[in-house]
Amino acid sequence: MIVTVTLNAALDRTLTVPNFQRGQRHRASGGLSLAGGKGINIARALKRLEVPVIATGLAGGRTGTRIVEELTAEAILNDFVRIGDESRTSTAVVDPTANSYTEINEWGPHVEPEELEILREKLHYLSSGADTVVFSGSLPRGVEDDFYADAIRDLNRRGVQTVLDSEGEPLRLGTGAEPFLVSPNQREAESLVGQEFHEEQDFVVALEAVAEHGARNVLLTQESGCFALFREDREVKRFRAVAPSIDPISTVGSGDVLLAGFLAARHAGKPIKDALRAAVSAGAASTLEVGAGRFEPREASRLAGAVDVGELEPVAH
């Protein structure tokens, strides 16, 4: 069982608006409402890959009720802590004519200390039957930056694998707690390492830097694929996996699907190279659909053959 944790869950509304222009009145040609937030997107993708998964986190108010109802309607097993403040709604506008995507995210709820304590207890209970716990996304107001770090240390002590995908200070502190895997996107990794990446060499140096911060393994996601550093049998290996070129409809959530694809493949016992191929092809397949975490596994299988996975040399210092 994999447990995904989403503290800042959202109701994601995606509107398709051809020829979208600011300051004008439009009629949407399509609309989609889904439970969202990075951990929920990962849970949705894992379910499509037939991996046993349960989504937990915080959900509040009428929006929180909708989030839980949407998850249940998708038959995604969930066990959220109900909080007093209202969960957020995220609105995205897709313009297929301009291939553009405009996102408007609300702040999200304020969380009380006792609500957070209930979540900690629930995590303790759920993780006792789990192989892996995935912490992903931003932290809502009222939650200290070290929440992920504390939770990771607790799970490490109990022998549960932890995965972290966040940004800013929660990512920095969480990485220092030595999770099994850290999976930032390029922008998040640049912020963590403190420099921009341009050449392949920059990415390899970044993988090393994130590992030095405390991560046992690193999966650095991009729209074009991923870079990865893995420790196996006392060896450190570095990889790059490049996705085939396709025309995306929406790239939102593709990094979440990529991570889910990797976890599913490793869950099934596949070697690292095959897992990276499966991950990148799932991420690529998700760009062909509107709605984060949604993709067609058959499409991912079809794309897998065109994913190029190569091993990289360490950068000489």
**At 186, which CATH number?**
3.40.1190.20
109-143: pLDDT as tens digits = 999 999 999 999 999 999 999 999 999 999 999 99
Residue 111 lies in a domain: yes
Where residue 317 falls among pLDDT bands split at 50, 70, 90?
low
Please count the CA atoms within 13 angstroms of the CA of 277 that sit on its side-chain side: 16
Residue 47 lies in a domain: yes
> By three-state DSSP, how is residue 233 classified?
coil
Residue 317 lies in a domain: no
How many domains are contained in the chain?
A: 1
| Euclidean distance between CA atoms 191 and 36, whole angstroms | 24
Tracing tokens 């959900």 back to the chain, one arrives at 59
Say if CB 88 and CB 63 are below 8 A apart: yes
Residue 256 lies in a domain: yes
Select from 285, 180, 181, 293 the least CA-distant residue to 243.
285
The residue segments making up the domain with residue 211 are 2-20+28-312
Based on the number of CB atoms within 10 Å of its own CB, is 266 exposed (0-12), middle (13-18) or buried (19 or more)?
Answer: buried
Give CA separation, 61 vs 57, 65, 73, in Å.
Answer: 14, 6, 18
| Average pLDDT for the chain | 94
Write down the pLDDT at residue 7: 97
Out of 132-141, 212-221, 263-272, 306-315, pick the least confident. 306-315
pTM over 0.85: yes
Say if CB 224 and CB 254 are below 8 A apart: no
Looking only at the bridges linking them, the beta strands covering 235-242 and 308-312 are: antiparallel
The residue-averaged pLDDT of 198-223 equals 94
70-93: pLDDT as tens digits = 999 999 999 999 999 999 999 989
